[in-house]
Amino acid sequence: MAEVHLCASVKKKGSTQPCEAPRLPNVMFCGRHSRMRNHVLWTTVMGARLHPHFTRAQALIRGWLLRYRLKMAGPGVLRRGALANDEDLNTCEDKNRQHPLTFISFEEGGKVWWFDYATLFRWCEMSPEPVNPYTKTLIPPEALRRMLWLWVYGFNQNARLAEETPGMRYTGRVNRLCQLFSAYGFMGVAPEHFHRLGRADYLVLHQFIQDDLGTAFREGPVKQRLLSWTQHSLAQIRRPTPYQPQSYVARLAYLAYIPADPYVVLFSILSALYRC
């Protein structure tokens, strides 16, 4: 049965109800409203009524996202007086001139150390166990979780990240995934665990992960999204394209940040890794 398209006009002048008559072929209106000189579209009327509510809702959502972004930046993002270092390590930007949305900091030993986001991100990519460049002690897991979460969810789209070669991209993503395991308490995961994997190993790895996640989570949107992501990863690996280990590793890291229990997801990845 052919689909019936209704008239785009309101039912009558001053009404907020849509006209329920079918529209004429190749015309937006029914026979009665097509003869009118001035047309009032139902979508225009409803848009004018709902606009204030949408504007308010958008303002509340944008405000919450901005406050959450500032919270994830760490201590001192708005009050810079108590920061331990005065300049960024790489850009040499003064602490009072650093933009809040490219600012990230963490507390260590009673002092707050801050960085340009791109500086800390690139620094941490150089090692699976990154240290504070000022004190040579391990960066707190809480700071690593915030940094990786911000990257995955695109809160730093304007970060001035340097260009990467394929080798740098692979090394950085492997180190990032090792940091993610460490940040959630899974110690001992090293880059060597991923260097030995080939395309067939990644296929088996993702299949194990898909099976484990299917039993670890209840039926619902979260489980569907996790399984959809692993299914898409399997399809990507099976494509007859050049071997891209940096892409496969990155998909594992993104999997851990799908709104679910990251501990359970990471445990499933680690369990599958040791079975390959």
How far, in Å, CA of 260 to CA of 273, rounded? 20
Cα angle, residue 64 at apex, residues 58 and 69 outer, rounded to 5°: 125
In angstroms, the CA 7 to CA 27 distance is: 9
Backbone angles phi, psi at 238, to 5 degrees: -75, -15
pLDDT of residue 1: 47
Model pTM score: 0.70
The residue type found at 238 is: R
> In angstroms, rounded to a whole number, what is the distance separating the alpha carbons of residues 217 and 230?
14
The pLDDT score that the predictor gives to residue 115 is 95
Task: Give residue 2's pLDDT.
Answer: 55
Inter-axis angle of helices 221-238 and 245-255, nearest 10: 180
Domains of the chain, residue spans: 1-73, 81-162, 192-275
Q: Which helix (H) or strand (E) holds 106?
A: strand 103-108
Instruction: Give the pLDDT of residue 3.
Output: 67
Give the model's pLDDT for residue 209. 92
pLDDT in 10s for each residue of the chain, 276 residues: 456 788 988 988 888 888 989 988 888 889 888 888 888 888 888 877 766 777 788 889 999 989 999 999 999 999 998 899 999 988 899 999 999 989 999 999 899 999 999 899 889 988 999 999 999 999 998 998 898 888 877 766 656 666 667 778 888 888 988 988 888 888 888 888 888 888 899 999 999 999 998 888 888 888 888 889 899 889 988 888 888 888 888 888 888 777 678 888 889 999 998 887
pLDDT score for 248: 85
pLDDT at 135: 93
